Amino acid sequence: MPDVGSRWILARAEFPSLLGALARAGYRVVGPTVRDGAIVYGSIRSVADLPEGWSDRQEPGTYRLERREDRALFGFNVGPHSWKKYQFPPREQLFTLHRDGSSTFEVAPPPGDEPPTAYLGVRACEIAALRIQDRVFVGGAAIDAGYARRKSRRLVVAVQCGQAGGTCFCVSMGTGPAVRDGFDLSLTELIDAGRHEFLVEVGSPEGARVLEGVPLRPADASDVRAGEARVAHAASSMGRTMETEGIHDLLLANLESPAWEDVGRRCLACTNCTLACPTCFCHSTEEVPDLSAEHVERWRRWDSCFNLSFSELHAGSVRTTTSARYRQWLTHKLATWFDQFGSSGCVGCGRCITWCPVGIDLTAEVRAIRSAAARTRSGSGGSP
Amino acid sequence: MAARPRLAVWKFASCDGCQLSLLDCEDALLSVAGEVEIANFVEASSAVSPGPYDLSLVEGSVTTPDDARRIQEVRAQSRYLVTIGACATAGGIQALRNFGDVEEFRRTVYARPEYIATLATSTAIREHVPVDFELRGCPINKAQLLEVVAAFLHRRRPTVPTGSVCAECKRRGVVCVVVAQGTPCLGPVTQAGCGAICPAYRRGCYGCFGPHDSPNLPAWTRRLGELGLAPEAIVRVYRTFNAGAPAFRAAGDAAAREGA
């Protein structure tokens, strides 16, 4: 069995044997696939389901698939879906209650029968996102049973990025593009004239077990250097940068910045950013009774701090304006998340920028707040 | 056994599609019939019992002097009055008359215009009588209808989300047609409820459920322009089934001024 930390070379022609090994090890495989003009996450039954030869072009509010000149399997950046849909499903039944005429309720748990699942193609920023959601759902005093169950059944097959997208900024957030930990297997696609192979790194005993029987050869120093060069290329071509210096105090010291009003005029309060975000975890629970109210289901569904109803208390909503909701989201994501969970809530994946229908870019919003604060400071001594 | 609550279903200017949603509940309709007395529902049965009623579901808008009188009678007989659908809640597609000359329509369309008694506008029920709850949609979603009926039976507030259609796309995993295709879509300004049917088939949202609770129409109008829609086209986008909903009406009017 390969050692944890060892590196191997898998030929492109042998890639199906990796999928076969995952299936033999008892995993259903989910990963990137082309559907409806984007690369989304879905069931992967064969290499033909992967986005071979596809890439994407991303800008604020715009995403387009493009053909690559080569036949790379992972030659694209993150799309509209994230792995949170598997860990923290959009709708999840928490339990059911039955009364059947008696005065006491009987509580039944949900089936909880999700199969062991291999996530194929997890990028460095997405590993960071999984770690953040793990902290939220199972890293504190209260453990979310469903999330914990699904986490115990997941296998992470990472892919190191060889290119960056137009809205990527993982370098700024310190989350990528290199995959350093939090994986069972890590792949780096080595593709150029005459070569199409994968550098495979073993990250866990379970990853090593899965690899048994997969035809591999040991990687040599030049293979490792080739992998590092791919990642370095991605790191040098980030589409965005986020100035994170002092960001916690900057945002919390500027809660009345005019920049919030400005973004409030552009923001649609449509919730796309939060639902595309791989770390946003806000949800609502709702009771679904039948007409007799003898049988009730409790469901949890994705919700968003951009919804008026999300902050509704007994006397109405706390955040009635869109600018207040944008401020709540951004200050939580980039500042108070540190206080609550010990890290930033942003991994620099760029989804909230690409999938905003009006292309609001949080890196630009932070810049606007920073420069408004600087103007205020310099303006206090004279005219601007 | 206590008497079952009495339900009535009323029709004003409408296509009957929302009432049909109730009939379309099939097995669930049998449960409804077990919990309530369906006392007045002429679409389903010619056996009509007189009021008062515990819950009245009102479909359709007010377009005639007779409608305006009749809705007062319905209100007077109803403990709770819930409007169902875009006509009852925003005036419906027939509220397009509000932007035209009804007198001219009457003269042009009818051989004997003097037979036609109609109002110059199509208006929502809310503009005539107090309404306890408005269920959106063209047509309504039958699961939401059952939820509303159950909620009124049990004296609780209905669970009917008032945020955007986008949330339904994202929960379903539907790829955004605006971002990935450049397709004009009303999802970001429209209330959820349909389950994002049109975007799931790669079409833009038509706004059947009317504006959501915090729509930013000026920003969305700008974006529709960037996506290639001329002001006249934007007017048509906002003036459909919910043309009379205040937010869509204001956005359509603003686009019309822009195009003038």
Q: Which domain does B130 fall in, by range?
A: 6-153
Residues B94 and B47 in one domain: yes
Q: Write the DSSP symbol of residue A175.
A: -
Asked whether the beta carbons of A252 and A335 are under 8 A apart, the reply is yes
Average pLDDT for residues B13-24, to the nearest whole number? 94
Tell me, what CATH number does B14's domain have?
3.40.50.700
pLDDT cut 70: percent of chain A above it:
98
Residues B39 and B95 in one domain: yes
- Determine the 3-state secondary structure of B168 from DSSP: helix
**Strands A217-218 vs A7-11: parallel, antiparallel or unpaired:** antiparallel
What pLDDT, in 10s, does the model give residues B184-236?
999 999 999 999 999 999 999 999 999 999 999 999 999 999 999 999 999 99
Cβ neighbours for B199, distance < 8 A, ≥ 6 positions apart: B165, B169, B174, B176, B177, B185, B187, B205
Chain B nearest C-alpha distance from A268 (Å): 5
Residues B23 and B148 in one domain: yes
Q: Is A90 on the interface with B (CB under 8 A)?
A: yes
Domain count, chain B: 2
The shares of helix, strand and coil residues in chain A, as percent rounded to the nearest 5, are 35, 25, 40
Residues B137 and B255 in one domain: no
Residues B17 and B141 in one domain: yes
Does ipTM top 0.90?
A: yes
pLDDT band at A379 (very low <50, low <70, confident <90, very high): low
When CB atoms are compared, the residue of A271, A308, A357 closest to B167 is A271
Chain A segment 39-68 residues within 8 A of B by beta carbon are 40, 61-65
Residues B205 and B128 in one domain: no
* Residue B129 in tokens: 């009588």
Average pLDDT for residues A366-372, to the nearest whole number? 96
Give the domain-ending residue among B127, B153, B179: B153
**Minimum Cα–Cα distance from A64: chain B residue:** B180
- Is A291 in contact with B28 (Cβ distance < 8 A)? yes
**Strands A195-202 vs A54-59: parallel, antiparallel or unpaired:** unpaired
Judge whether residue A165 has pLDDT over 80.
yes
Does B115 map to a domain?
yes
Residues B24 and B142 in one domain: yes
Does B198 map to a domain?
yes
- Is A91 in contact with B171 (Cβ distance < 8 A)? yes
Residues B89 and B129 in one domain: yes
Does B143 map to a domain?
yes
Residues B146 and B26 in one domain: yes
For residue A269, list chain B residues with Cβ-Cβ distance below 8 A. 163-164, 212, 214-216
Does B159 map to a domain?
no
User: Could you tell me which of B114, B136, B3, B143 has the C-alpha nearest to residue B59?
Assistant: B136
Residues B19 and B145 in one domain: yes
Does B104 map to a domain?
yes
Residues B112 and B229 in one domain: no
What pLDDT, in 10s, does the model give residues B151-194?
998 889 999 999 999 999 999 999 999 999 999 999 999 999 99
What pLDDT, in 10s, does the model give residues A54-89?
999 999 999 999 999 999 999 999 999 999 999 999
**Tokens 């679409």 belong to residue:** B43
Element containing residue A287 per DSSP (H, E): strand A283-289
Does B140 map to a domain?
yes
Element containing residue A222 per DSSP (H, E): helix A221-235
Does B210 map to a domain?
yes
Does B133 map to a domain?
yes
Distance of CA A56 to the CA centre of its chain: 17
Residues B20 and B136 in one domain: yes
Give the domain-ending residue among B132, B153, B174: B153
**Minimum Cα–Cα distance from B216: chain A residue:** A268
Q: Is A293 on the interface with B (CB under 8 A)?
A: yes
**Minimum Cα–Cα distance from A319: chain B residue:** B214
**Minimum Cα–Cα distance from B144: chain A residue:** A288
Give the domain-ending residue among B153, B174, B192: B153
Q: Is A112 on the interface with B (CB under 8 A)?
A: no
Chain B segment 217-246 residues within 8 A of A by beta carbon are 218-220, 222-223
The predicted model scores a pTM of 0.95
Q: Cα angle vertex B204, ends B200, B209, to 5°?
A: 90
Judge whether residue A101 has pLDDT over 80.
no
Q: Where are the domains of chain A?
A: 7-88+98-235, 247-379
What pLDDT, in 10s, does the model give residues A110-127?
888 899 999 999 999 999
How far apart (Å, rounded) are the C-alpha atoms in residues B157 and B195?
21
Q: How far apart are the first and last CA of chain A?
A: 67
Chain A nearest C-alpha distance from B36 (Å): 10
Cβ neighbours for B103, distance < 8 A, ≥ 6 positions apart: B120
What pLDDT, in 10s, does the model give residues B115-152?
999 999 999 999 999 999 999 999 999 999 999 999 99
**Minimum Cα–Cα distance from A92: chain B residue:** B171
Backbone angles phi, psi at B21, to 5 degrees: -60, -35
Chain A nearest C-alpha distance from B41 (Å): 19
How far apart (Å, rounded) are the C-alpha atoms in residues B119 and B44?
29
- Is A271 in contact with B163 (Cβ distance < 8 A)? yes
For residue A322, list chain B residues with Cβ-Cβ distance below 8 A. 214, 216
What pLDDT, in 10s, does the model give residues B68-87?
999 999 999 999 999 999 99
Asked whether the beta carbons of B22 and B29 are under 8 A apart, the reply is yes
